[in-house]
Structure 1
Amino acid sequence: MRINELRALNDEQLAEQVRNLNIELFNLRFQLAAYKNPSPARFGQVKKEIARIKTIQRERELHNLVAQ
């Protein structure tokens, strides 16, 4: 997803996205261990997507702290 699409999601949807991506990352690692040849590029894509979402979550957390 693009950053603007991620920012439009609420906190619960972002958390769900992180959970799904962590499951996908686990499955990719499992496939690699089982010699199933997963796409190496997908590892980086999933990790970057997780990092983007966590960055947005942290921005919101800091914004809520400042707003109080």
Structure 2
Amino acid sequence: MKPQELRQLDTAALIRLLNEEREKLRELRFKTGQGQLKNVKEIKAVRTLIAQIKTITHKI
């Protein structure tokens, strides 16, 4: 999601999305530890999205 799209969401939707992305990051880390994850760039993308969501919620 682009930052412009994130800014259009309300606070409740942002918090829900943040929780979903945190859960996704947790699952990706488990898969990495087990050797099941092929694309480790996915972790960086999720971390970046989490940071963007946190920044936008802080500004609200």
TM range (shorter): over 0.9
Cα distance, 1:58 vs. partner?
0.6
Q: Say which one has the larger Rg.
A: 1
Aligned residues: 60
Task: Give me the whole-angstrom Cα distance separating, in 2, the residues matched to 1:22 and 1:11.
Answer: 16
Deviation digits for residues 18-49 of structure 1, max 9, x if unmatched? 00000100000010111113411101100000
Task: Determine if contact 2:25/2:43 at 8 Å carries over to the other structure.
Answer: yes
Unaligned runs of 5+ in 2: none
Superposition pairs of residues 22-61 of structure 1, within 5 angstroms? 22-60=22-60
Q: Which structure 1 residue ranges, 4+ long, deviate > 3 Å from structure 2? A: none
RMSD of aligned Cα (Å):
0.8
* Identical counterparts, % of pairs: 28
Letter in 2 for 1:43: I
Unaligned runs of 5+ in 1: 61-68
